[in-house]
Amino acid sequence: MTTIKDIARVAGVSVTTVSRALNGYHDVNEQTRQKIVRVAKDLNYSPNTLARGLVLNKSKTIGLLVSGLNRQSAKDHFTFEVLSGINECVSEQDYDLVLFNTNTSKQREKTYSQLCRERRVDGVILSGIKTDDPYLHEVVASSIPCILIDIPIQSDSVGYVTTDNVLGAKQAVEHLMQLGHRNIAMVNGHGQAFVSQHRLDGFKQGLAAGGRPYNPDWVVNGFFDEDIARVEAERLLTRYPEITAVFCASDLMALGVLKAANNLGIVVPKRLSVVGYDDILLASYASPPLTTIAQDKFQLGYEAAKLLIRMLEGQDNSRAVLLETELITRQSTTGNHV
């Protein structure tokens, strides 16, 4: 493994000069610079980022702390697409990504900042953590630059990127109302997700805008799980047959609702309209294909990385990005002809 020392020896200069030449400083004689570059190539040199990181105290590395990188959540494409977006941006900017090992099963209960300090990452992106996750407090307390996905917290070192969940949910309700639906239920995620809180807000706003009262009995939590959503929906639809439309805080849960309806012999969309959220791949393949509020998951990741790198490089702009949502109308919603 060749080092700058080797290069220095062969080129007949000092390591200092080698370092400067290779790092593109301009106070090096063009002759010597070229010679050094050539020798470096001849010797098949590649810099040791560990050594460099040690002295510079930064690593050109971004840490990634995500839930949803496991067998269970394979169905939910969300994390993957976010990751792709992050990867894309990070690649362009010549950083590398390290996926933190946040295995909780073992005894190694490392704190957030321990994790970051150990690996000397320059910054972190967090996705899929709950609002009551202990990491979250640490993030805010710590001074490590960090971008949260879908958690609207902001500070000197913390920014976030999310979609306009309030507006998205509102769009969904408005769509249903325009179709003539008056009795609209909601299958939400859970209280420990900001997106759920926001989507519920949007749901309420939508109802209010249409002059309909908000009925808490018609809102259940599906915990972003297809099967829980199915069970909850079965109960809901059985108990309140007057419901003609359901807005779900995720497509996966909407799939569960579709199943519930099917089990109960309720035809979608004829007797029940269903709107999802996310526009996951499955949405368009469901039967019937799902009307949904699309969010650009790839972009979510891309913007997160972009924002973080901006912070790291000191281009101090905003600390928050809000992406738009889009209503995708498919066949799971139709006019209500009661």
- Residues of the shown chain interacting with DNA in the complex, contacts defined by CB under 7 A: 1, 3-5, 12-17, 19-20, 22-23, 27-33, 45, 47-48, 51-52, 54-57
Residues 6+ apart with CB under 8 A from 269: 288, 331, 332, 333, 334
Binders in 26-55 for a copy of itself, by CB under 8 A:
46-51, 53-54
Task: Identify the bridge partners of residue 220 per DSSP, sorted by sequence position.
Answer: 187
What minimum distance in Å lies between the beta carbon of 41 and DNA?
14
Q: Does 99 bind a copy of itself (CB under 8 A)?
A: yes
Q: Does 97 bind a copy of itself (CB under 8 A)?
A: yes
Binders in 233-272 for a copy of itself, by CB under 8 A:
none
Q: Which does 17 bind (CB under 5 to 8 A by kind): a copy of itself, DNA, none?
A: DNA
Compute the distance between CA of residue 293 and CA of residue 290 in angstroms, rounded to an integer. 10
Alpha helices in 68-224 (DSSP H): 78-92, 112-119, 134-141, 165-178, 194-209
Q: For residue 66, which of 324, 300, 317 has the smallest C-alpha distance?
A: 300
Burial 141-179 (b: 16+ CB within 10 A, else e): ebebbbbbbbbbbeeebbbbbbbbbbbbbbbbbbbbbeb
Of 133 and 138, which has the nearer Cβ to a copy of itself? 138
Q: Does 291 bind a copy of itself (CB under 8 A)?
A: no
Of 49 and 263, which has the nearer Cβ to DNA? 49
Q: Which does 130 bind (CB under 5 to 8 A by kind): DNA, a copy of itself, none?
A: none
What minimum distance in Å lies between the beta carbon of 112 and DNA?
18
What's 142's DSSP letter?
A: S
Q: Does 84 bind a copy of itself (CB under 8 A)?
A: yes
Of 177 and 274, which has the nearer Cβ to a copy of itself? 274
Phi/psi of residue 149, nearest 5 degrees: -100, 125
Q: Which does 157 bind (CB under 5 to 8 A by kind): a copy of itself, DNA, none?
A: none
Q: Does 153 bind a copy of itself (CB under 8 A)?
A: no
What minimum distance in Å lies between the beta carbon of 62 and DNA?
19
Q: Per the structure block, which two tokens stand in for 279?
A: 């526009």
Compute the distance between CA of residue 98 and CA of residue 231 in angstroms, rounded to an integer. 38
Q: Which of 31, 106, 213, 338 binds a copy of itself (CB under 8 A)?
A: 106
**What residue type is assigned to position 219 of the chain?**
V
Cα distances from 263 to residues 76, 220, 259, 268, in angstroms, run 23, 19, 6, 11
Of 84 and 154, which has the nearer Cβ to a copy of itself? 84
Phi/psi of residue 250, nearest 5 degrees: -155, 155
C-beta separation of 119 from 59 below 8 A? yes
What minimum distance in Å lies between the beta carbon of 180 and a copy of itself?
29
Of 103 and 315, which has the nearer Cβ to a copy of itself? 103
Of 37 and 328, which has the nearer Cβ to DNA? 37
Give burial (CB, 10 Å; 0-12/13-18/19+) of 1. exposed
Return residues touching a copy of itself (CB under 8 A). Answer: 1, 46-51, 53-54, 59, 61, 69-71, 74-75, 77, 80-81, 83-85, 87-88, 90-92, 94-103, 105-106, 108, 110, 113-114, 117-120, 281-282, 285-287, 298
